[in-house]
Structure 1
Amino acid sequence: MTARRLRAQVASVAATLRDLGVGKGDRVVGYLPNTPHAIVAFLATVSLGAVWSVCGQDYAPKAAADRFAQLRPTVLISADGHLFNASTHDRRHATLELAGALPTLKATVLVDHVGLPWPTRAYPSLVVPWEDAVTRAEELTCTPVPFDHPLWVVYSSGTTGLPKGIVHGHGGVLLEHLKTLGLHSDLGPGDRLLWYTTTHWMMWNLVASTLLTGATTCTYDGSPAPFAKPDVLWELAARHRAIRADASPRHVPDEILEVPGIPHTRTGKKLEVPVKRLLQGAPAEQVVNPATVDAPDLIDHYARLGAERRGRSA
């Protein structure tokens, strides 16, 4: 998507949200996979001074409602489904259930992502098709807000009761993200970032902030290592010429690592994080007890690699 098209879509969706009663301080929530729809919806929301929150569609409706209901949202934006491991996951009825659990909604915007027809039964709020929301000819105008005005809400894990909302303000988090992406990662105009994430992981928020640097962000809906094509992220990175491709260590499959394999504990737990620390140069004795590992020689292998890398960078 070009910058011009992105701006046009953001302006259109912002105008639609404004017509639906969204204004400064209101909350808009997304039940969306990691696609351009989520980026557009987020930018449109915050351009109005409203507050954004999103979670992925692998969350059950109740799990999403446990988060969103705390915010008393004005509008829900939801997709018909998402993709994972070469399968289409239908979330149309989940959307209906979620909308019914959010009594403050004035409208639900329905996104056709995987091509499933939406149910015709009554929704608990006004329904707007995404295609109508995103194709208006509008000028983008942004509402000025204070430095600490809420930008988005992310959540704790929910392991000790209901998930707790964590509010990030416009100024603080944008400075942090610009520092992380522009200085630490050296991203700038012409660069492209591919980072595997779902929308409810805070890394999605960082990925969206890639645009601050003038760089391009790559969105991806699907498995990071599908059975039929475990190297799909690397293929996408090559195809789109991403200068960085990132994912959680647990999403890096053995088949695409140029190493003998990932060791396990004797109880079967895969040791990706200890291996990463070894490759970063941490001494083996500080990382893992070789007596608890099924292949101690692999620990020695990674420790040697880490020492060699540390020596080259010294």
Structure 2
Amino acid sequence: MKLLVTGGCGFIGSAVVRLAVARGHEVVNLDAMTYAANAANVAPVASSNRYSFEQADIRDRAALDRIFATHSPDAVMHLAAESHVDRSIDGPADFIQTNITGTFNLLEAARAHWMRQGKPDSFRFHHISTDEVFGSLGPEGRFTEETPYDPRSPYSASKAASDHLVRAWHETYGLPVVLTNCSNNYGPYHFPEKLIPVVILNALHGKPIPVYGTGKNVRDWLYVEDHADALLLVLEKGRIGRSYNIGGENERRNIDLVRTICALLDEMAPKATPYADQITFVTDRPGHDARYAIDPTRIREELGWRPSVTVEEGLRRTVRWYLDNEAWWRPLLNRQGVGERLGRA
């Protein structure tokens, strides 16, 4: 199968690209190469004859039409998005333009391509989204595919809008789509503005480890390589028009997660004082959702998928990777906004 993967130089997108090429798929990686993209993320497969790269912006319809005509993909996996909540608070316009207008352009380019090909039943448009579109949970309950949307940040609102567009293009035009909403991802190649890499790198540099509020916000953590596996499975076997929630079944309070990382660093890169001494509580972000948790029953029962990596094992692998790959992360520390407090509103 020939896949067009948007955002394939990003964190989750590159995991999909690496796994898809390893499994024998042809992959066309379409990426605008904005601040969070990194060509090094796909270096392990860049020399493969099954891999090709197109630098383009999904807001550029003419570029999208050219890429579809040139490569004639069998499926689209749409991961390109602005995704950092704090950045969306400071500058929502980029999120509206990329996540909403960009998704519209991609849907229209994909629909035109699908129609030119005679509307093959085998074509797929897989839209990858987030559990943040569902809003915030209390102490009990989990998000299902039927949970009403209740986005609470410019980022999650823009992703919710893109989800609705994808469903509308299926209902109105018959475009064969599948959708997925995932919980918080982590693992190798994670851009160093998100919680886990921030904890690791601030700890190693002797800087304060920032924790929002009291650290009691709860997230369900999904190892990125497990997520890539689930995404390819949904693409190949998911029911048309159906959405699937992908969760790690690994709920943790932020403060507990941070302390676990500190303990792993104490073991793997010991220093004179415990890394946990660097934990610093900072003013919470506006509209910070209290808890996310995914109910993965549908993907487990319909497709037989469940996560293979526990959060304890995944964090150990992730810490080890960052310790072993300074050449990857060090150049990224100079990129715009990295290391700064964003999202104060």
Q: TM-score when scaled to structure 1?
A: 0.33
More helix by share: 2
| Greater RCO structure (CA 8 Å; 6+ sep) | 2
User: Which structure has the greater CA radius of gyration?
Assistant: 1
